[in-house]
Amino acid sequence: MLQEQTFFTVGEDEVRAWTTRRGATAQEAAGEIHTDLSRGFVRAEVVAYEDLAALGSMHEAKAKGKFRLEGKEYIVKDGDIMHVRSSL
C-alpha cells in the first residue's frame, strides 16, 4: 500500500535496514543512507537476502557467484543486501 521496500547494509559489527520506494535505483537507494553516497555513487555490491541466508556468509556468496556488482540503474529488490561504493 505504501509502495516501500527494505534493503540492508552489513558491516562487521552491525546490520542496518533502510526503507526506499519500490522501483528505486541503486543510486536512489544509496541516497536514503546519505546524500553524498548518491552524488558519488560508483557501484553497488549486491547479494539477495535469500542467497546469503542459504550460504551463510558473504565469502560463500562470492565463491558461489551470488555476489554481484550493479550500476546506477539497477532496480533494488526487497531484501537486497548492498554495499555502496562511492567516489566521495
Residue ranges and CATH numbers for the domains of the chain are 4-86 (3.10.20.30)
**Residue 68, beta-bridge partner list:** 46
| First-last CA distance in the chain | 35
- pLDDT 10s digits, 2-17: 899 999 998 888 999 9
Instruction: List the alpha helices (DSSP H) in 17-74.
Output: 26-33, 35-39, 49-55, 58-63
pTM of the entire predicted model: 0.87
- pLDDT 10s digits, 47-84: 999 999 999 888 999 999 999 999 999 999 999 999 99
- pLDDT 10s digits, 28-52: 999 999 999 999 999 999 999 999 9
